[in-house]
Amino acid sequence: MMTVALKIPPPVFMLMALIMMLGCHYLLPWWQFKPRWIIAIPLVIIAVVSGFLSVLALAKANTTISPFIPKQTARLVTRGIYQYSRNPMYVSLLLLLIAAVFIYGELSTILGVVFFIIVINHYQIKPEEKVLLTLFGDKYVQYCGQVRRWF
């Protein structure tokens, strides 16, 4: 039986990163700048749309969206938003965190973004990739060669 090492939902890691960013904002002021809503708002919109499109693509393919049961993946989804990123749901969470950097107006908050990327890569994406390689073999290898992990 194949299992994924992560037992915490990725959005919880995003919330942890947001809390870390809040701490950085107040405790590690490196370089403060005015909040840039003109950048943050489009990032949030893109994040919401890409998250929705990724869930929709998986639902249309009649396969699991759960990060905890990748072994139940019925099909390798390579169309729609998945032709641009192998992990558009995680990209959408990442874009929300990048938007938060512009909302907080503090450069040190980027540490939360780095934390999220490292944790999701190690504890979520790599175990998922192992399962998908086992399930789909060469087809998955080819897909990985054509589409980036993030964006």
Residue spans of the domains in the chain: they are 16-65+76-146
What are the tens digits of pLDDT across the range 90-112?
Answer: 999 999 999 999 999 999 999 99
Report residue 142 as tokens.
Answer: 């080819």
Would you list the DSSP string of 95-134?
A: HHHHHHHHHHTBGGGHHHHHHHHHHHIIIIIHHHHHHHHH
Q: What is the pLDDT of residue 6?
A: 55
pLDDT band at 27 (very low <50, low <70, confident <90, very high): very high
Burial tier of 27 (Cβ tally within 10 Å: 0-12, 13-18, 19+): exposed
Q: What angle do CA 100, 84, 20 make, to 5 degrees?
A: 20
Rounded average pLDDT over 24-39: 92
pLDDT band at 87 (very low <50, low <70, confident <90, very high): very high
- Could you give the 3-state DSSP secondary structure of residue 32? strand
Q: What is the pLDDT of residue 3?
A: 45
Place of tokens 């964006």: 151
Q: What is the pLDDT of residue 4?
A: 44
Burial tier of 30 (Cβ tally within 10 Å: 0-12, 13-18, 19+): exposed
- Look at 39-48, 57-66, 101-110, 138-147 and tell me which has the smallest mean pLDDT: 57-66
Which range is most confident: 28-32, 40-44, 57-61, 122-126? 40-44
Cβ partners under 8 Å of residue 128, min gap 6: 4, 67, 70
Choice between 7 and 24, residue whose per-residue pLDDT is larger: 24
What are the tens digits of pLDDT across the range 138-151?
Answer: 999 999 999 999 98
Q: Is the pLDDT of residue 70 over 80?
A: no
